[in-house]
Structure 1
């Protein structure tokens, strides 16, 4: 058995959080420090994207949806002051995927918040159909797959229709690109990274799964939906999206490996046959220790770089678009201007209608909150000192800035 560090066993129980605290939730001074760190990173020029990535990866992720609406665009290099217009119903006309998308969306009622009125959910489902078809029509090289709507609905619920569309477009042309090929070859290629990780970490577990001939198909829905289809807790889904949006496109595979390794004792206790092992692994427990699994996935990524795994016979002959373009994607994201600068540029463009007419319609922005960001940028360290003082007596103060 290879690999460093103690292995977490599936039979063990994770440490219970203190009463009143949800697992993965930050309290007190650590939360305040994280909020201030995110604020400073967003106001840096250029934006401190690496700091934002660190916040998304670390315990608790990005904490709130208000912060996600600020940080997710920065992680994907999306200019929120130059968003595309809302997708219209015209995208449905004669689209080859319309019927399939409509069927999948209509079956996705459990992905919407419990207690939502049926008429509200219906509006969101119609927006979801238009959002998906808009991306597919704008990028004919992309092919719809069942499960794509699970990712799209998460973005829609957090970011709204226009920003959700911009985020989904970036993901579709980068992180999800291999899943959107006309065949399953690229998707199988991504799945093929799973077994080499298991082999390096636990030869016993790896060989058991080979004897059972279970393959990797049990993890297919995990990867192509970023676990959105298999987890029932929306906060858990959002925590994983923070993680994946800030990471290399292969991190969902490393996270799958972390889950399988975490459940090693359960797997080895199974009958060594495909139906038994597949049934066990395809059902993800809903009470997994997500923070420790995220940490373990990052450790696996560092310990077993994908470039080394790719030397194995099953991986070396396929060229992944998602993997191949990620370095350039990261570099582009590191050169972003802060929202205060982008907002000023947009206001200047609006003062010249002739030039502005050539640009896409800008997204709606909360001007009062944007003004606060602008003031913080102007005052610099003094404003941050005032903010730190305010945090001592009003823990939710900085949230209002988002």
Structure 2
């Protein structure tokens, strides 16, 4: 570590000691980020909104009660993913050490799901938790994982994928605002190309440990929507490569956009992402995509990361979002049902209308006049033929 990094490290430590959130954000965003895992262990808990690091061990001990809670329905899938964890990092660890890490990873995920049963597990979630475990250690990660789940990843942990699809629409809108030519060229690609990276906050796609830790320095020091801007920035940085591909090859385009290059200039991407966010803030994106987001979306409720919600408040927002989703699904089913039976419904409506008119004619005495008029018209047409 050179003199400049040593001085920066001292500044990071001082900001952590003083709880200087704004300074910590600037340092985490600047070149090199938070530099080392030792400094991250001090800084990340503050960025995630739990200031007291000394309470993490006590929190872990009290959280042992999760073992007695009802089993979560997604635990089988959790185990399958945990068995596949720690593929790219850490390097050169013994089988025994990896087994211990996997057991810790499983406990972190299952304890969060059992303690907050309204959350649904998604594949790649274990990649996020894996990063927190490696950087923070098991005790501090036990506090960090529920917070990142409810305050940053909540939209991905709902019963359906529809809120996540709104995130993908935002990515497309960001690209369109910044680079209309590129946006038009890749318009045929499924906007789910952002699924893997955004779900896992890039942990599923970035294979270098130093790079993913640096990316998390940036993402944790900004509001949740910044991960979508980062993906859009990476996509725009590949414009020449993507413009050379046939626009009508949607499957190939989707695949190529979703696969991030393994050589990333993180510091340059961070600065370009901030510029992109400043020039095209969420509320000014085309298509009113920001305004079509649920008011309970984590992208809207976690904008002020300096004053985060507590977990109870986040749970309430999660429940409201789930209720809204169920209402929307019920409405969609009813609309689909009406469409399926549109002809019988139209016939029934016409029958009821004829019946109502007939009843009114009889009540008003106009039925005889109408019948007389129809009879005269019929006789006239008969003579003509």
2:52 corresponds to 1:75 = no
What is the distance in 2 between the residues matched to 1:76 and 1:230? 22
Structure with bigger RCO (C-alpha 8 Å, 6+ apart): 1
Cα deviation for residue 317 of structure 1 reads 2.5
Structure 1 residues 262 and 329: alpha-carbon distance in aligned structure 2, compared to 1, 3 A threshold: closer
Number of equivalenced pairs: 302
Match of 1:248 in 2: 223
SS in 1 for 2:222: coil
How far off is 1:216 after superposition? 1.6
Q: 1:274 to 1:126 in 2, by over 3 A?
A: same
The Cα of 1:314 is off from its aligned counterpart by 4.0
Aligned pair in 2 of structure 1 residues 332, 151: CA closer, same or farther (>3 Å)? closer
Structure-2 change in CA distance of 1:313 and 1:328 (3 Å): closer
Residues 60, 142 of structure 2: 8 Å contact kept: no
| 1:38-85 Cα distance to aligned partner (Å, 9 max, x none) | 1221232xx111101111111000000000000001111222111212
Q: Counterpart of 1:268?
A: 243
Moved more, 136-145 or 234-243: 136-145
Does 1:96 pair with 2:73? yes
Report the Cα distance in structure 2 between the residues aligned to 1:142 and 1:295, rounded to whole angstroms: 33
SS state at 1:247 partner: coil
Relative distance call for 1:93 and 1:112 in structure 2 (3 A) is: farther
- Unaligned residue ranges in structure 2 (runs of 5+): 310-385
- Structure 1 residues 328, 262: closer, same or farther in 2, change over 3 A? closer
**Aligned equivalent of 2:275, options 271, 277, 299:** 299
Matches within 5 A, 1:353-364: none
Counterpart pick for 2:301 among 310, 322, 325: 325
User: Alpha carbon RMSD of aligned pairs, Å?
Assistant: 1.9
Partner of 1:183: 160
Q: Any unmatched runs of 5+ in structure 1?
A: 1-26, 334-402
1:168-208 CA distance string (max 9 Å, x none): 11111111111111111111111111111111211110111
The 2-side partners of 1:119 and 1:36 are apart by 36
* 2:38 paired with 1:66: yes
TM-score after normalising by structure 2: 0.74
1:336-375 equivalence runs, <5 A: none
In 2, the alpha carbon distance for the partners of 1:126 and 1:292 equals 37
**Is the 8 Å Cα contact of residues 73 and 167 (structure 1) preserved in structure 2?**
yes
Equivalent in 195, 202, 214 of residue 220 of structure 1: 195
Q: Which residue of 1 aligns with 2:26?
A: 54
Q: Judge which range, 27-36 or 224-233, deviates more.
A: 27-36
Q: Distance in 1 between matches of 2:74 and 2:292?
A: 31
Q: Structure 1 residues 283-292 or 93-102, which shifts more?
A: 93-102
Comparing 35-44 with 54-63, greater Cα deviation is found at 35-44
User: After the TM superposition, which of the residue ranges 222-231 and 273-282 deviates more from structure 2?
Assistant: 273-282
* Structure 2 CA distance for partners of 1:327 and 1:264, relative to 1, 3 Å: closer
Which is further off, 175-184 or 273-282?
Answer: 273-282
The secondary structure found in structure 1 opposite 2:54 is coil
**SS of residue matched to 1:331:** coil
Structure 2 counterparts to residues 2-401 of structure 1, below 5 A: 28-44=2-18, 47-78=19-50, 79-83=52-56, 84-86=59-61, 88=64, 90=67, 94-210=71-187, 213-272=188-247, 273-309=249-285, 312-319=287-294, 320-332=296-308
Distance 1:209 1:304, change over 3 A: same
Q: Which residue of 2 aligns with 1:6?
A: none
Task: Select the structure of larger CA radius of gyration.
Answer: 2
User: Given the two structures, how large is their TM-score scaled by the length of structure 1?
Assistant: 0.71
Distance (whole Å) between structure 2 residues aligned to residue 303 and residue 261 of structure 1: 14
Give the structure with the higher percent helix: 2
8 Å contact 2:47–2:221 — kept in the other structure? Answer: yes
Relative to 1, partners in 2 of residues 1:91 and 1:277: Cα closer, same or farther, differing over 3 Å? Answer: farther
